[in-house]
């Protein structure tokens, strides 16, 4: 009965929504030559996409069928006025997904409508057959109940039997018919192989520029840190040594003071150089692998961090570096903005998906907005160079969970990097 109850509104939406939106889309596109369509087409195609998104949500919720969106992302902020309308209209018409949506509207209004309506119609045939056998057949003399001519009470009882058989079929196969409707929608609404490749090329093109910009920014940061930190201290050490050389015979006491100050400056310069090297590529990451590097990072974090590592071995050095610095950025954000008392860091490799997964969870206030601030954007740029993804779940009141995934293949096990352990600083 559930399929019959859900099939009727779905069929109505398929028929009415498909026909109305298709007609409006065709008319709006046809009126572009008159100038009117430039203003109406973006709005109409926006309704088409909203209708398609509702069907995607319905397919995932009721049919367990996931339908990814194939739409091209809009770059930059849209302009206002007529110029912005024209640019958006051209952008939508050049998107292959727009034309697949229009094709789906026609198919959904015909084949989709039929598949969605069948569970309801088949289920109601038993009730209809019972009403016919109860005496309605006398007023339907000469008509047919499917393939049964209604000419006698026996024929009416036969029609009732046929109707209840169809009801059983509707109850038995109704969910499958609705599932077939969702599969039909996925065949037309999901991105094709060519569209997926195009989106991936576009993403790699963007991430390449982001990687170049990030590398340039990193070089500028290293140069600035060297100039303002270690270099200045080493210059001070050189000046102190020159003064010591001049004072060592005239004023040994003052020379000893300058020598002590030079030793302090050299120690501070060495510490700053170590911090700088650790920021470029931590030695523990190169020597011990990602697991131990993240444990060391947890020990240096101001909040208590519980670490769980389950890795099959080492990965490519760029992959480990990307995962390490991305996790470091997320932990830094948790310390600064979450108001948390404890953080959990889980690192593992998902063999079925072929991805390295890092999950950072905190018990803070939640409500984090991934679109706000430069931290999440920087993490996305770092992961994007490896075709990785960033997912943030942060309901108000917490907890906040940040998941990083990088597609990769592990090397042979090395050292102790693959042993699952827990660290509770």
Is residue 246 very low, low, confident or very high in pLDDT (cuts 50, 70, 90)?
A: confident
- State pLDDT tens for residues 44-99: 999 999 999 999 988 888 888 888 888 887 765 556 667 778 888 888 888 888 99
Distances, alpha carbon 285 to alpha carbons 147, 196, 293, 297, in Å: 77, 34, 5, 10
As given in the structure block, the two tokens for residue 49 are 């996409």
Length of the chain: 425
Q: Give the Cα separation of 155 and 132 in Å (integer).
A: 10
Place of tokens 């060495």: 270
Strand partners, 145: 148
Q: Give the Cα separation of 284 and 293 in Å (integer).
A: 5
Distance of CA 74 to the CA centre of its chain: 16
Q: Are 113 and 14 within 8 A, CB to CB?
A: yes
Higher per-residue pLDDT: 338 or 70? 70
Average model confidence (pLDDT) across the chain: 78
- Where does residue 61 rank: exposed (0-12), middle (13-18), buried (19+ CB within 10 A)? exposed
- State pLDDT tens for residues 211-228: 566 556 666 666 776 666
| Helix boundaries (H) for 75-152 | 81-94, 96-107, 113-133
What pLDDT was estimated at residue 208? 65
All residues at 6 or more sequence positions from 92 whose CB lies less than 8 Å from its CB, including other chains: 41, 42, 45, 98
Q: Give the Cα separation of 407 and 386 in Å (integer).
A: 7
Q: Are 342 and 372 within 8 A, CB to CB?
A: no
First to last CA, the chain: 56
Q: Give the Cα separation of 45 and 172 in Å (integer).
A: 38
Is residue 206 very low, low, confident or very high in pLDDT (cuts 50, 70, 90)?
A: low
Place of tokens 């087409």: 41
Please provide residue 401's backbone torsions phi and psi, each rounded to the nearest 5 degrees: -125, 120
pTM over 0.85: no
All residues at 6 or more sequence positions from 322 whose CB lies less than 8 Å from its CB, including other chains: 382, 383, 385, 386, 388, 406
pLDDT of 416 over the 50 cut:
no
């Amino acid at each position: 009965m559930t399929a019959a109850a859900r099939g009727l509104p779905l069929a109505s939406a398929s028929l009415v929504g498909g026909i109305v939106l298709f007609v409006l889309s065709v008319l709006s596109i046809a009126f572009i030559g008159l100038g009117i369509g430039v203003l109406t087409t973006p709005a109409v195609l926006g309704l088409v996409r909203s209708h398609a998104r509702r069907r995607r949500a319905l397919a995932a919720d009721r049919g367990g069928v996931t339908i990814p969106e194939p739409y091209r992302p809009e770059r930059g902020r849209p302009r206002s006025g007529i110029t912005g309308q024209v640019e958006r209209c051209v952008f939508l018409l050049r998107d292959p997904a727009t034309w697949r949506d229009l094709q789906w509207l026609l198919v959904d209004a015909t084949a989709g409508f039929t598949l969605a309506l069948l569970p309801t119609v088949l289920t109601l045939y038993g009730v209809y057959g019972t009403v016919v056998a109860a005496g309605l057949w006398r007023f339907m003399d000469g008509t047919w109940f499917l393939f049964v001519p209604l000419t006698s009470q026996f024929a009416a009882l036969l029609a009732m039997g046929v109707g209840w058989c169809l009801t059983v079929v509707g109850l038995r196969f109704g969910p499958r018919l609705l599932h077939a409707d969702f599969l039909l929608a996925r065949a037309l609404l999901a991105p094709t192989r060519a569209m997926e490749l195009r989106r991936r090329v576009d993403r790699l093109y963007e991430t390449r520029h982001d990687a170049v910009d990030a590398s340039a920014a990193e070089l500028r940061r290293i140069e600035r840190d060297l100039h303002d930190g270690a270099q200045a201290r080493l210059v001070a050490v050189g000046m102190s040594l020159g003064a010591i050389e001049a004072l060592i015979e005239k004023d040994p006491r003052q020379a000893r003071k300058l020598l002590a100050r030079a030793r302090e400056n050299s120690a501070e310069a060495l510490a700053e150089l170590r911090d700088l090297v650790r920021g470029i590529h931590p030695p523990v990451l190169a020597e011990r692998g990602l697991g131990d590097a993240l444990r060391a990072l947890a020990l240096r974090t101001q909040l208590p961090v519980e670490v769980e590592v389950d890795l099959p071995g080492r990965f490519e050095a760029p992959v480990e570096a990307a995962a390490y610095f991305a996790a470091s950025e997320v932990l830094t954000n948790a310390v600064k903005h979450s108001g948390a008392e404890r953080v959990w860091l889980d690192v593992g490799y998902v063999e079925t998906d072929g991805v390295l997964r890092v999950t950072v969870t905190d018990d803070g206030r939640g409500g984090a907005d991934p679109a706000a601030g430069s931290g999440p954007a920087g993490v996305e740029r770092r992961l994007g160079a490896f075709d990785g993804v960033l997912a943030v779940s942060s309901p108000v009141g917490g907890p906040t969970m940040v998941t990083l995934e990088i597609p990769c293949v592990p090397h042979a096990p090395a050292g102790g990097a693959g042993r699952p352990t827990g660290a509770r600083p």
